[in-house]
Amino acid sequence: MSGDEAQEAGGRADRRRLARKVRRRRRTRRVGELPLLVVVALCIALILKTFLVQAFFIPSGSMEQTIRIGDRVLVDKLTPWFGSKVERGEVVVFKDPGGWLGAESVRPAPDPVGVKQLKQGLTFIGLLPSADEQDLIKRVIGVGGDTVKCCDARGRVSVNGSPLDEPYVNPGNVPSEIRFEVHVPAGRIFVMGDHRANSADSRYHLDEAFQGTIDEKDVVGQAVVIAWPFGHWQRLEQPATFRMVPDQARAGRRAPRRRRRAASFA
């Protein structure tokens, strides 16, 4: 082998060694960056869960057929930070005011060891909904200043004198088996489940303080979509009937504070 050939062969060998060295450095750098990427991903997931969107597990049938037992819904937690007010017809998740959950919660079957710990980790970072949340989900019927009443001559619920057309009510249910008339205090909401015969909602707590209304501060956020299972996927929008309800100020009458209760809740 001539000197030039030997020099060229040595140069190729040096280049190969350099290339292997660069590849090793790249692999080492990628491995070193992995923990940082995991930490960043976890931080983003926690921020999303805390301030933007959170998944919730539905443990009861109080919102059937709109939302069924075992469904997962995504809840918008961002808009309240910008001063957005709860509106009639929205489906909202709110903290248990005290003693509401026990009347309708259904506990899921326990998971085997290992699966339980994995789910707990994914739940913590917001990738899975928690089955242990002390929250409820209902539809907003009236907001502060409204008068919610049932029933009119056709058995309908009315808000500020405007009867509601409620196609979302579970088939076979009447709008309400309880007769009531409630003036919703400012800063509070009156809620009902779509499965009227199986929902321990505001009607069930009429004899308590504030006549079963919920403090707006206890609202976690608005449920915007059923995300799982895919076969149940749908957006949760405000029904058109609530856009026809006049504000109490425009109704031109003072809302009565009396309410009647003629039937027990089933």
**Residue 85 is a catalytic residue:** no
CB 54 within 8 A of CB 197: no
The active-site residue out of 138, 149, 176, 199 is 138
CA 227 to chain centre: 10
How many Cβ atoms from other residues are within 10 Å of residue 175's Cβ? 18
Which tokens belong to 112?
């085997």
The active-site residue out of 60, 62, 158, 199 is 62
So which residues are the catalytic ones? 62, 138
